[in-house]
Amino acid sequence: MSKIEIITEKCKGCGLCIIVCPKKSIQLSKNFNKAGYHPAVFVEGADCTACGLCFQVCPDVCIEVYKDK
């Protein structure tokens, strides 16, 4: 299964990745990171296609995309 990993301590919770995700596989966490932001988190079990749009739009470069082989 394809997935993404978000470095939550770098994420400022801007939400751009959430907007561009065609499968709605990302949401904002209810918890705060050390910087005081609600970071984006991957929805476990989501139908991620590893399209990479979230990676491309992230201004903080905190998303890694893993595509199924």
Report the run of H or E that residue 18 belongs to, with start and end: helix 16-20
Residues in the chain: 69
* Residue ranges making up the domain that contains 31: 3-66
Domains of the chain: total: 1
Q: Please name every residue paired with 65 in a beta bridge, in sequence order, or none if there are none.
A: 4
> Is the pLDDT higher at 50 or at 44?
50
Average pLDDT over residues 17-33: 97
Average pLDDT of the residues in 21-46: 96
Per-residue pLDDT of 49-69, as tens digits, reads: 999 999 999 999 999 999 987
Q: What's the confidence (pLDDT) of residue 27?
A: 98
Give the CATH number, domain containing residue 7: 3.30.70.20
Average of per-residue pLDDT across 15-36: 97
Residues forming a β-bridge with 26: 42
Residue 10 has what pLDDT? 97
- Indicate whether this model's pTM tops 0.85: yes
Beta strands 40-42; 26-28: pairing state: antiparallel
